[in-house]
Structure 1
Amino acid sequence: MPKLALTNDWVKRSPSRLNMERIEAFFSGHGFTPHRHDTYAIGYTLSGVQSFRYRRAQRHSLPGNTLVLHPDEVHDGQAGTDAGFRYRMAYIEPALIQQVLGGKPLPFIAGGLSSEPRLHHAARALLCNLESVLEPLEQDDLIYDLAHALDQAAGQGVTRKALDFVAAERARAFIHSALDRVITLDELSQVCSRDRWRLSRDFRALYGTSPYRYITQRRLDLARAMLLAGHSLTEAALSAGFFDQSHMSRHFMQSYGVSPGRWLRRLGQS
């Protein structure tokens, strides 16, 4: 990790495979504005007080806590003291968790903080080495342990309504094949042979977000990759399927709490 002055905010991204992003970051004050993304944000505070507003209450994470922010839940982030805070976080697509849980409702951790030892151990194992790419089998093992630790920590009962995991997975795969065009819920319903509103309900329960939010996030994934590769904001926006640069920037702020330009500067890309 870079040895930077404590007055400088920074973000270090780990090289990683698709479907998961791992970071370490330091913020001396305000980190990011209220936003939401369709991934789990799972990690822990290394030093300082990590304060955030989540589900209508102010929360404070200290070293030893495990943060588990549920997909599509609005949150912000800032230092709780003048010393700033440093943390590690993994952003994990719910589809990876569902590959382990096989169609159960996504585990939800009330308040976004947990002191469960098994969950803390699983999060630390996933984030212990950010300098190298995880091997495929290594990542699968870590996700397996994390998914079961999440499920245990959440302590969920059996859902009363059956969820059609196969239909929802078919819808998710179709979305990935059509990122460059408009998709309707009726079209997804036809592809999956599932009533449109039952499909929408199942998709939200299984992946933590709506089909529209899911496709928007995949477009943002593409836009971020293009920005990191040196493309302009306009090029990235149009290639990722947004109407224009301002359309992309608006969704970027809503999903990450910072503008595309500020995001690049924190990564030392501009």
Structure 2
Amino acid sequence: MFHARIIGYRYPTHWHDTWTVLIVDAGAIRYDLDSRHHGAAVETVSILPPGVAHNGYPSERFGRFRKRNLYLNSDFLPDELVGPAVDVSTFQDRQLRTAIGQLHDRLRAPEGLDVEARLALIAERFQQHLRHRAPVAREPEPFIASQLRAYLDAHITGKAALHDAARVLDRSVPHLVRSFTQRYHISPYAYIVGARIDMARKLLLQGQPVASVAVEVGFHDQAHFTRHFRRHVSIPPARYARSGLVLD
């Protein structure tokens, strides 16, 4: 991701090998994308396809802009959507813009499963715009939600990836997320974090050190574990462990 405040500067013509998702927080930007003239301002969302030359400069009205960019792998969207993204690059979609802003906040302390789910839902929304289709979501499936829960339970302390579950269950990631959330009233990411914290509580009360518990239940470091534990339990794990130990 890239955040910038631009005043009186013109980007030269260039291109990226990634999809670029752009939101503007102040001012407005103009850009030429493969000879098509486009613009973006607050409340809009823009997407620039990979391999297409473009420039960028503040609009004449404001003379400046503040923006946030996401650079996403070339497989973020299908190749056939490059042309439509050149023709229509900017959209008025408050829900999509909010989702992208929340993803930027999440990426300051990234959580794999959560980021994966958010990106999949954002990609789905862009596809609807670029294919000129009204949002039509498949009805959530309780049985698929149960199967996803079984997958998550089998990966509580390991690496859980929604795209792996989607391949096994023959469903899209957004559909899995919607089915699971409706069935259990919690996201897959929140479910797996809660299960890890529950497991950690038991290990801490058995006297295991905080650092080893953090790794054993699937967090990548002690600080990461402590942040989540405190959010769920209200106190740090070391204090929780001391409060429950019975000494001979």
TM-score interval, smaller chain: 0.3 to 0.5
More relative contact order in 1 or in 2 (CA 8 Å, sep 6+)?
1
TM-score by length of 1: 0.43
The structure with more radius of gyration: 2
